[in-house]
Amino acid sequence: MNYPKRIEELEINPADDGFIIYQPDRDRVHYLNHTAVVILELCTGLNSPAEIANMVQEVFKLNHLPQEEVEDMLAMMKGEGLVVNS
Amino acid sequence: MENNNNKILEKVSSERRDFLKLVLAGGAAFAAPMMTSFSIDGLWAQTSSSTSSSSSSSSSSSSSSSSTYSSYCSAIKFEYDGPQGFEAHFSDPNRAARMNGEVTLTISAPSNDNGKGKDDDEKNVNAAQTTRLATVLTISRNAIVSDAYIAVDGIRVVTLLSGKGTIYPSTSLNYICDFTQLLEALAADRATVDLGRVGHVLEVRVEGRDQSSSGTRGSSWARSCRPCPSSSRGRSRRSSRCS
């Protein structure tokens, strides 16, 4: 199964309404809002996307399971090299 | 939410726990996860969001030596008879890595031809509804800005660049009623551009010039931006021009 894992060497800096991540090796800068950062931090390599969606639902007390949102975000993060499959 | 947070925190390593605790402690409400990525030497701000909903904003191309962000913000009701374009130049003298840039505001209204054959009042109402404020923020190469605002008296009223890399629609003209008020504030030299950089916010006093003329660079908004006085707002819409 796919267990996303955030790469170790990310430098996450708080910004005004979210967080900024620098990836100097890729010459990339990423701006993430709070929800995206929570998802990123839950990418420990031990949580599946479904489990991450469940945790996001719990922490934000959502009525719906944000599975699609989480999976889409994980795909974007993988595309940008912020997470890898464990 | 405390119990939920504790359960979540147990799922991450101890090294990351404090950071996640900090993120969750803010009590931020749920928002669709969103990520904006761009190159440090970027030409474009590319927005990625997990939701299909998006603002009406767009990014635009830039020169090879800068990053440009642009968008539109629609005015709701707007009475203004001044120049239609402005530039504001700025720099960050306090940084070793110098940053230069400019903010361009373009006010556009539909041409008069759109209303051919219609009553003057109707034409003016339509014009008021479709007047737009287009803003372009350009920063020098290698300058990284997380967010940018026009602030009036220290209060941020217009977002030039947010996490979405776009300008908020006019509804987010917080604390300010309309564009006329915004222009009045600019004209009175009460506005700054706040540029968010990692660790600090750079406050830039806006000094602009009228694009439509060859005016001196650095002339003030007060010279180039002349909104209708407040007293003209209550006048008949038959004419939106100042007397």
Q: Does A9 fall in a domain?
A: yes
**3-state DSSP assignment of residue B184:** helix
Q: Give domain status of residue A85, yes or no.
A: no
Please name the residues between 85 and 144 in chain B that touch chain A, using a CB distance below 8 Å: 144
For the segment B186-207, what is each residue's pLDDT rounded down to a tens digit? Answer: 666 677 777 766 555 666 555 4
Please check whether residue A35 is in contact with residue B33, taking contact to mean a CB–CB distance below 8 angstroms. Answer: yes
- Spell out which residues of chain A touch residue B40, defining contact as CB-CB under 8 Å: 22, 24, 27-29
Integer Cα distance of B208 and A74 in angstroms: 43
Q: Which amino acid is at B106?
A: T
Of A30, A20, A77, A29, the closest CA to residue A52 belongs to A77
Buried-state track A60-70, b at ≥16 Cβ within 10 A, e below 16 = beeeeebeebb
What pLDDT shows up at residue A51?
Answer: 94
pLDDT surpassing 80 at residue B80: no
> Is B148:B193 a contact under the CB 8 Å cutoff?
yes
Token pair in block for residue B160: 């030039």
Whether A86 is covered by a domain: the verdict is no
Confidence of residue B171 (pLDDT cuts 50, 70, 90): very low
Q: How many distinct structural domains can be found in chain A?
A: 1
A51 part of a folded domain: yes
Distance from CA of A2 to the nearest CA of B (A): 17
Determine, yes or no, domain membership for A37: yes
The answer as to whether A24 is a domain residue is yes
Of B9-13, B56-60, B86-90, B186-190, the least confident: B56-60
3-state secondary structure chain A: CCCEEECCCCEEEECCCCEEEEECCCCEEEEECHHHHHHHHCCECCCCHHHHHHHHHHHCCCCCCCHHHHHHHHHHHHHCCCEEEC
Domain assignment of residue A50, given as a range: 4-80
pLDDT for B176 beyond 50: no
Query: What CA–CA distance (Å, rounded) separates B32 from B188?
Result: 38
Q: How would you label B152-166 residue by residue, b for 16+ Cβ within 10 Å and e otherwise?
A: beeebbbbbbbbbbb
Which amino acid, B127? A
Chain-centre distance for alpha carbon B8: 36
Do residues B87 and B209 lie in contact, with contact meaning Cβ atoms separated by under 8 Å? yes
**How many CA atoms are closer than 13 Å to the CA of B101, on its beta-carbon side?**
29
Please judge whether B35 and A73 are an interchain contact, meaning their C-beta atoms are less than 8 angstroms apart.
Answer: yes
Nearest to B12 by CA among A24, A69, A38, A68: A38
Closest CA in chain A for residue B163: A31
Q: What percentage of chain A reaches a pLDDT higher than 90?
A: 49
Q: Does A43 score more than 80 pLDDT?
A: yes
CB-based contact B26 A34, cutoff 8 Å:
yes
